[in-house]
Chains A and B, each alone.
Chain A
Amino acid sequence: MGSLVLKDLAIHYDRQVVVEDFNLAIGEGEMAALLGPSGAGKTTILKAVAGLLAPTRGDILIDGRAVNTLPPEKRDVVMVFQKPLLFPFMNVAQNIAFGLKMRGDGSERRRTAVSRILELTRLEGLGGRKVHALSGGQQQRVALARALVLEPAVLLMDEPLSNLDANLRQEMRELILSIQSELKITTLFVTHDQSEALMMAQRLALLLGGRLRQAGTPQDLFHRPADPEVARFFGGGNFFKGRLQGGVFECALGRLPVSAASGNGHVRTATIRPEDIQLTLDAAGRPGGLAGRVVRTRFEGTATRAWIECDVHEVMVLTAAGELTLGQEVRLHFPPEKIRVFPEDKASE
């Protein structure tokens, strides 16, 4: 168990900047996610922490100790790759015991540790299997077990769920979470899937274009995104430029009351998540709100995504309200507390 701190980390490949000015602190026993689209430099950061590639600048501290110059095998950090990478010439138990053997543990100790971890990862009875004879989900679990058995100070996982189909993914997610809460191993995992990150992590870091855009709790990033790009990454839409004046946001849609108070007079961007907009059918007769017409809909199962034209502006709404027909007149209500006015307008030119 240990804390992990990344300080001013920069990683360049052939003079190409992959990661720049990256700072992140993960507490002991915490489960943290590094989130970002593919190509954002997530795996690169993971490899740098694992010691598999050297950062250009910056420090990697584990339990307050800089490990930059230590080779991977001396870092007490284990990385689980995206692919299971099970050694084909060993059976399941031998694969899991590999790290213990490298560490010099005796065969008796190895056997106890392996059987315990087999049980923990629900692989009982598969120790003697050839790795080729395992299903994809089992292979992924063996890869996880092989890392967990070492009880590293920091566990790194690169897209642990991306190779699994939807059902297995959920199962594996629950397994990882339950094991993590039991063993309390400080964990940093990489994912491109925002819902996965929100569900699994206690701490979240969003990486866009090699730079950290925002770090915090999942609630922070979801409800209080630092800028429109962060909001967009978490499925946000509806960005309006306007001026904040005494608790009212004046924009093209009209005068929207907001709860944000500071920043009077400045040009700002505001957003509201599609599911936070309340949609009522005109006939319901709820007063106020914004009148609009349905121009497009997309059924998404539990809800329907609808694009509503208010004057010339389109507003995206996610609603559970019945079936909408094209051209239907509706009213939109914007709860003031749900409107997020970004502190600084990065979107403005």
Chain B
Amino acid sequence: MKRSGRFSAAATILAAVGLPFATLGLWSLADRWFFPGLLPQSWGLRAWSYILTSAGGQVVNALWQSVAVAAVTAAAAVLVALPAARALGLYEFRGKDPLSVLLTLPIIVPPLSVAMGLHLWFIRMGLAETFIGVVAVHLTFCLPYAVFVLWGVFANYNPDFESQARSLGASRPAVWLRVMLPMIMPGIVVAGLFAFLLSWSQYLSTLIIGGGRLITLPVLLFALMGSGDRPVAAAVSLVFVMPAFVALLFSARHLGGRSLAGVR
């Protein structure tokens, strides 16, 4: 009974997560697939060979561009969010509530309007169509998430650990490096992952600020979808999902909420 229950639970999850991907897999392997057919009428590796050979350079370039943008964005988000979250989580100060509302604004306001508004400024500042400009616009969405994740971590963080470490002879930098960082590492991984995935899936803001000069995977994907070649779009979609999936697997053990508490 219990075993079959667990089995059906696993099957449900697998089906819910797997079925959309299965469709993508089928499409990428289809040569011809027309309406009422449940399965493609003819199979072929045309799409894969196209994105791996003739469009291979483009796909690989876009992949690297995406990884670079997402990684730099995630790192910057965590670095900037750390002190902010620490202040929000550990201290009481005037204007804390209005500040937290301000922090959520970029999440509430539609990305399109943010990107459009910033575009003008970025042109003036010479940031439009640059790598830094795209990272900056991604940060406007990623930073609030990183701050919120780490805020929660610091709200449960006991700063007495740091006092204890200082009293045991650790200098201030040593305390950050050897006490604070290991204590909040799971939180950093989660915040970084959120920021990475959020940046990874940005299309509109990349297109507007990047101005078509910075081709990330989503930008390429949309271009290919626009061309109407479904099998190719499906194959690129799968390539697009893969790194995110790997990142998720890599950090899965931190998502389970391994105890941050320590012995307090």
Interface size for A (C-beta < 8 A) is 29
Chain A contacts to B: CB under 8 angstroms = 47, 50-52, 71-73, 77-79, 81, 83-89, 98-99, 102-103, 131-132, 134, 139, 146-147, 150
B264 touches A85 (CB 8 A): yes
Number of contacts between A and B (CB, 8 Å)? 84
Tell me which of B158, B166, B168, B172 contacts A150 (CB under 8 A): B168
Residues of chain B contacted by A132 (CB below 8 angstroms): 259, 263
CA distance A47 to B259 in the complex (A): 28
Residues of chain A contacted by B172 (CB below 8 angstroms): 71
Q: Mark B140-174, 1 if CB is under 8 A from A, else 0.
A: 00000000000000000010110111111111101
Taking the closest CB of chain A, its distance from the CB of B80, in whole angstroms, is 25
Main secondary structure of the interface of A (DSSP, over half): mixed
A73 touches B160 (CB 8 A): no
B264 touches A83 (CB 8 A): yes
Q: Mark B246-264, 1 if CB is under 8 A from A, else 0.
A: 0000000000000111111
Q: Confirm or deny: B79 has a beta carbon within 8 angstroms of a beta carbon on chain A.
A: no
CA distance A88 to B161 in the complex (A): 10
Tell me which of A77, A88, A89 contacts B167 (CB under 8 A): A77
Taking the closest CB of chain A, its distance from the CB of B62, in whole angstroms, is 38
Interface size class of B (residues with CB under 8 A): 20 to 34
CA distance A79 to B165 in the complex (A): 10
Q: Confirm or deny: B85 has a beta carbon within 8 angstroms of a beta carbon on chain A.
A: no
B261 touches A98 (CB 8 A): no
A-B pairs with lowest CB-CB distance, top 10: A88-B262, A99-B168, A102-B169, A86-B263, A72-B166, A79-B167, A89-B182, A85-B164, A102-B170, A73-B169
A-B contact pairs, 21 of them (CB 8 A): A47-B163, A52-B163, A72-B166, A73-B168, A77-B167, A79-B163, A79-B164, A81-B164, A83-B263, A84-B263, A87-B179, A87-B183, A88-B263, A89-B182, A89-B183, A98-B170, A102-B170, A103-B169, A131-B262, A132-B263, A146-B168
A72 touches B167 (CB 8 A): yes
